[in-house]
Every structure is written in C-alpha cells, then in structure tokens.
C-alpha cells in the first residue's frame, strides 16, 4: 500500500486532519488585574529542561497575544479533567473576553503576576524569552521561573472535536 501525497490542500482540510491529533488542553494567561487575558489552546509543549522552558503558539488575533508581548510574561496552565467548561469559557464560547473570563476557577499569582489556575494539573509561570512569527500565530518561548503541580489530577485532552480524559 502506498501513501499518496496531495500537492495542494486547503486550510479547512488541514484543520480537519489536525483534529485527529490529541492535545493537552491548556489555558495561557497573562497580564494583571484589571487587564488580564487568557485563551484556551492545545499548541503548547516543553522545549528544554536546561534551562527549563516551554513554548506556546498563540493566534495573533487573540486578546492575550499583545498582552504577552507587552507584559513579557505568561502562565501555561494544563487543565484537569473537570475543566471542560472553563476551557470553553476561555475559548470564547460564551462571548466573554478579557478579565471577565477569570470569574470562574480559583486563580493565584506565582512569580510573574500572570494568573495561575490553582486546580490545574500543572502551571508553568514564564518570562518571555523569545518570540517567532509563524503565519497566523506567534510562537512564544517562555523561561519557566515558577511552577505548581497537582499530581492527583487527570489531564483534559482534545481530539476529534471533543474533550476527553485519557484512560489508564
């Protein structure tokens, strides 16, 4: 059996294919009251252990995008299984924007002042160390300056257009 290459495809076809790639659901937060911003994303990962760093990919049209650049910090919060409604809120499903999104969940500040979700599987508080233009998105690289972990939490994942909890 051979794999056929399709030389030209649309962004819709690409998004459809990417729905098959499971991703950890997270909320990236930035700013301080009353100018906090946050968004749901699955495009984040660890980058390096020495020095500890992560990367998140943020759409340039997102409210948090310019705040990350301006503040020079962000917190990458990996959501737990019970956070599906919070993920939808930060994805803008209810029409909320900016600081109002933080009306749900318990939030604290670690080192940078960016909001950290207390009940997250883990949160990585980062100072922005670099950014790269990547079409519709910017890749933000963060040097981890603080973290919090809840080892008893199960992660929330997104695949095939649905939130799921991995089976053990």
pLDDT per position as a tens digit, 37-81: 999 999 999 999 999 999 999 999 999 999 999 999 999 999 999
Q: State how far the Cα of 90 lies from the Cα of 65, in Å rounded to an integer.
A: 14
As a whole number, the mean pLDDT across the chain is: 92
Q: What is the DSSP letter of 150?
A: -
Model confidence, pTM: 0.90
Backbone CA torsion sign across 90, 94, 98, 100: negative
Predicted pLDDT of residue 3 = 63
Which pLDDT score, from 0 to 100, does residue 6 have?
Answer: 55
The answer on pLDDT for 166 being more than 90 is no
Q: Quick check: 1 pLDDT over 60? A: no
Backbone angles phi, psi at 67, to 5 degrees: -70, -35
Cα separations (Å) of 155 from 9, 65, 95, 100, 127? 33, 25, 25, 24, 24
Give yes or no for residue 167 having a pLDDT over 90. Answer: no
* Helical H segments across the chain, by residue range: 11-18, 63-71, 84-90
**Total count of residues recorded for the chain:** 168
- The Cβ of residue 65 has, within 10 Å, a number of other Cβ atoms equal to 20
pLDDT at 15: 83
34: its two tokens: 């009353």
Q: Which two tokens stand for residue 49?
A: 């252990």
The pLDDT > 70 percentage for the chain reads 95
pLDDT at 142: 98
Q: Lowest-confidence range among 30-39, 137-146, 159-168? A: 159-168
Distance CA 30, CA 70 (A): 10
Residue 13 is predicted with a pLDDT of: 87
Stretch 16-28: mean pLDDT = 90
**What's the mean pLDDT in 16-35?**
91
């Amino acid at each position: 059996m051979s794999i056929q290459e399709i030389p030209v495809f649309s962004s819709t076809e690409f998004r459809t294919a990417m729905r098959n790639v499971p991703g950890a659901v997270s909320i990236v937060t930035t700013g301080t009251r009353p100018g906090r911003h946050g968004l749901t994303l699955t495009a984040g990962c660890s980058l390096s252990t020495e020095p500890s760093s992560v990367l998140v990919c943020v759409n340039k049209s997102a409210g948090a995008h310019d705040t990350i650049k301006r503040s020079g910090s962000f917190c990458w919060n990996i959501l737990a299984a019970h956070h599906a409604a919070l993920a939808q809120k930060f994805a803008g499903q209810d029409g909320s924007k900016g600081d109002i999104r933080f009306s749900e969940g318990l939030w604290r500040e670690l080192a940078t002042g960016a909001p950290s979700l207390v009940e997250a599987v883990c949160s990585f508080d980062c100072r922005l160390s670099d950014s790269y233009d990547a079409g519709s998105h910017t890749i933000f690289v963060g040097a981890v300056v603080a973290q919090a972990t809840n080892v008893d939490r199960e992660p929330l994942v997104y695949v095939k257009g649905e939130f799921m909890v991995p089976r053990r």
